[in-house]
Amino acid sequence: MAEERSLETRAVFPLIRLTKMTEITLTEGEILKAVISGDKEAYQAIVQRYMKSAYYIALGIVHNHQDALDISQESFIRAFRKIKKYDPSRPFFPWFYRLMKNLCLDHLKQSQRRKEVPLEESQVLKDDTEDREMKKVLWQSIEELPFKQREVIILRYFRQCSYQEISEITGKPVGTVMSTLYYAKKKLKDIIGRYL
């Protein structure tokens, strides 16, 4: 528990650069109106404002660091895609929270289904031969990803780059990196499932 409390925001989420517009003190409503009008960069101020709360709420629901990180990031991505449905005269966080809560509940349902797989159907690596085969399947699966997805998977998991570093390397905004990585992992899981 103490470890979770000591977790700094920057260790949980990538550092997000703010645009000149969001560096000026604006109300949440003004920022969200700019986002709804098409200012994608302004959304970073909203993410930065709520990212720590979103992570800890998701962690409280799913009880797993990586899952909480993935779900909170996906929640921001989905909220951005649905921002036109948001009413800027109302507080943002309750609307966002409902969206995130639904993602958490969906995740828990999927986790429950995975736990119900009979043991005789599960894959267990018994020796180095099977371990080598699994690595081969993993690399074959990575090769099937589109280049942009393959790139972020390799930078994140094989080079241990932060989201900010991947953003700087690829020249893509941090939010785009997060989104690309999320969909790359989802697709990779499906591809590996075909091999297994």
User: In the prediction, which pLDDT does 24 show?
Assistant: 54
* Maximum average pLDDT range among 1-5, 92-96, 118-122, 159-163: 92-96
The per-residue pLDDT for range 119-151, each reduced to its tens digit, is 334 344 445 566 778 888 888 888 888 888 988
* φ, ψ at 42 (rounded to 5°): -65, -25
CATH code of 119-195, in short, is 1.10.10.10
Domain range list for the chain? 2-115, 119-195
- Please report which confidence band the pLDDT of residue 83 belongs to, taking 50, 70 and 90 as the band edges: very high
Which is nearest to 14 in space by CA: 158, 179, 133?
Answer: 179
Rounded mean pLDDT of 9-27? 48
Contact 88/36 with Cβ under 8 angstroms? yes
**149: nearest Cα among 112, 108, 110, 177:** 177
Q: Give the angle 58-11-4 at the CA atoms, nearest 5°.
A: 55
DSSP per residue, 29-55: HHHHHHHHTT-GGGHHHHHHHHHHHHH
What is the pLDDT, as a whole number, of residue 71? 94
CATH number corresponding to 2-115: 1.10.1740.10
Q: Residue 118's pLDDT is what?
A: 43
